[in-house]
């Protein structure tokens, strides 16, 4: 098989690429690396990406990493169905929405999820509340888009959805932890606070192949831990 994806469970950047591969119905070898065993830092992986980060996509002898670059490469190499729009105008909006998300929402969102998963919410509550305020504002903009359209940009599921969806899922998971209850009070339940976003999540969760993209360690935790 031509394509191999090296990825990690719970890495929102990896998840973007898995969504794209499934949407394009491309066959790929799935190489799930275990962060706890430092498999992403193995000599083999450092040879592919000296930064030791995932996702890394190998297409025969060609190697590409940085999730946005992987999505971009995949779309040029395997254009059907397109994930960067049907014309330059739509492509520009998709890329703009991705850039805005990465510049204005993601840093705060990642601070929050990291703090929750490393149990630092109490000590950094004020800073995280500010971050939550920023994330809430950006989420409202996306909510606005999704209250008018099925997908974030235009009539089709696109790279904008694939970039934003994993981060929202990560945030939702973080905010549902008991230690984040106060922080997430205005965000969860999404069905009430962000109904269009909630419906959009539901829509993506029902896409063919979605189960293969879902972080395996989240599923394991859901099987064994009552939340």
Task: Give the separation between CA 170 and CA 168, rounded to whole angstroms.
Answer: 5
**E strands in the chain:** 3-8, 28-33, 56-59, 62-65
Residue 117 as a binder of a second copy (CB under 8 A): the answer is no
Please say which residue, 46 or 103, places its beta carbon nearer to a second copy: 103
Stretch that binds a second copy, among 22-30, 64-72, 129-137, 188-196 (CB under 8 A): 64-72
Stretch that binds a second copy, among 38-46, 97-105, 120-128, 182-190 (CB under 8 A): 97-105
Residue 32 as a binder of a second copy (CB under 8 A): the answer is no
User: Is residue 162 within 8 Å of 71, Cβ to Cβ?
Assistant: yes
Stretch that binds a second copy, among 24-32, 93-101, 115-123, 201-209 (CB under 8 A): 93-101
CB of 60 to a second copy, least distance (A): 10
Residue 86 as a binder of a second copy (CB under 8 A): the answer is no
CA neighbor of 187 nearest in space, from 136, 134, 114:
136
Task: Give the separation between CA 201 and CA 215, rounded to whole angstroms.
Answer: 15
28-33 and 3-8 as β-strands: parallel, antiparallel, unpaired? Answer: parallel
Residues that bind a second copy (CB under 8 A): 51, 62, 64-70, 72-73, 76-77, 87-89, 91-93, 95-96, 98-100, 103-104
């Amino acid at each position: 098989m031509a394509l191999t994806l090296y990825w990690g469970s719970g890495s929102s950047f990896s998840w973007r690429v898995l969504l794209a591969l499934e949407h394009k119905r491309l066959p790929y070898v799935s190489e799930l690396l275990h962060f706890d065993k430092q498999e992403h830092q193995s000599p083999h992986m450092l040879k592919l990406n000296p930064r030791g980060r995932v996702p890394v996509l190998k297409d025969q002898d060609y190697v590409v990493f940085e999730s946005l670059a992987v999505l971009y490469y995949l779309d040029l190499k395997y254009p059907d169905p397109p994930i960067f729009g049907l014309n330059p105008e739509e492509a520009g909006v998709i890329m703009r929405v991705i850039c805005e998300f990465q510049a204005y929402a993601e840093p705060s969102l990642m601070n929050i999820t990291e703090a929750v998963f490393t149990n630092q919410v109490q000590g950094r509550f004020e800073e995280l509340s500010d971050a939550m305020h920023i994330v809430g504002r950006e989420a409202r903009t996306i909510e606005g888009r999704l209250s008018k359209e099925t997908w974030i940009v235009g009539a089709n599921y696109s790279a904008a959805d694939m970039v934003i969806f994993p981060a929202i899922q990560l945030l939702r998971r973080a905010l549902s932890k008991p230690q984040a209850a106060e922080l997430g009070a205005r965000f969860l339940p999404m069905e009430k606070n962000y109904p269009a976003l909630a419906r959009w999540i539901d829509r993506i969760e029902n896409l063919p192949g979605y189960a293969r993209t879902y972080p395996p360690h989240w599923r394991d935790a859901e099987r064994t831990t009552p939340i």
